[in-house]
Amino acid sequence: MERLWELVVDSESVAGRLVTSAVVVGFGVLLASLLGRLFSRRTSDPYSRFYARKASRYAVALVVLIALAVVWQAFAGRIGVVLGLATAGVAFAMQEVIGALAGWFNIVSGRIFRVGDRIEMGGVRGDVIDLTPLRTKVLEIGSVAEDESWVKGRQFTGRIVAISNKATFTEPVFNYSAVFDFIWEELTLPIAHGSNWQAAERILFEEARRISASEGARQAIDQMANRYPVPRTEVEPRVFARATDNYLELAARFVVPVRTARSAKDDLTRRVLARLRHAGIEVASPTQDVTLRVADSNDTP
Nearest to 168 by CA among 260, 81, 103, 124: 103
Question: Is 299 domain-assigned?
Answer: no
Nearest to 126 by CA among 91, 163, 179, 87: 163
Question: Is 59 domain-assigned?
Answer: yes
Q: Please give the model's pTM, rounded to 2 decimal places.
A: 0.64
Asked if residue 69 and residue 7 are part of one domain, the reply reads yes
Question: Is 301 domain-assigned?
Answer: no
Asked if residue 114 and residue 76 are part of one domain, the reply reads no
Asked if residue 126 and residue 73 are part of one domain, the reply reads no
- Give the containing element (helix H, strand E) for 248: strand 248-257
Question: Is 208 domain-assigned?
Answer: yes
Q: Residue 214 and residue 159: Cα distance in Å, rounded?
A: 33
Asked if residue 74 and residue 61 are part of one domain, the reply reads yes
**Cβ-based neighbours of 236, under 8 Å, separated by 6 or more:** 209, 212, 214
Asked if residue 126 and residue 79 are part of one domain, the reply reads no
Q: Residue 270 and residue 134: Cα distance in Å, rounded?
A: 45
Contact status, residue 138 vs residue 124, Cβ threshold 8 Å:
yes
Q: The domain containing residue 261 runs over which residues? A: 182-278
SS3 state at 176: coil
| Full pLDDT tens readout for the chain, 301 residues | 555 455 455 555 666 667 777 777 888 888 888 877 777 777 777 777 777 777 788 888 888 877 777 766 655 555 555 566 666 666 666 778 888 899 999 998 888 998 989 999 988 999 999 999 999 999 998 876 656 677 777 788 889 999 999 999 989 999 988 778 898 999 999 998 888 999 999 999 999 999 999 888 888 888 887 777 777 778 899 999 998 888 899 999 999 998 888 889 999 999 999 999 999 888 887 766 666 777 665 555 5
Question: Is 149 domain-assigned?
Answer: yes
Buried b (16+ CB within 10 A) or exposed e, 86-101: eeeeeeeeeeeeebbe
Final residue before a domain boundary, out of 175, 200, 224: 175
Q: Residue 178, class by beta-carbon neighbours within 10 Å (0-12 exposed, 13-18 middle, 19+ buried)?
A: middle
Final residue before a domain boundary, out of 175, 200, 221: 175
Asked if residue 78 and residue 146 are part of one domain, the reply reads no
SS3 state at 35: helix
Supply the Cα-derived Rg of the chain in whole angstroms. 35
Final residue before a domain boundary, out of 148, 175, 202: 175
CATH number of domain containing 232: 3.30.70.100
The number of folded domains in the chain is: 3
Question: Is 159 domain-assigned?
Answer: yes
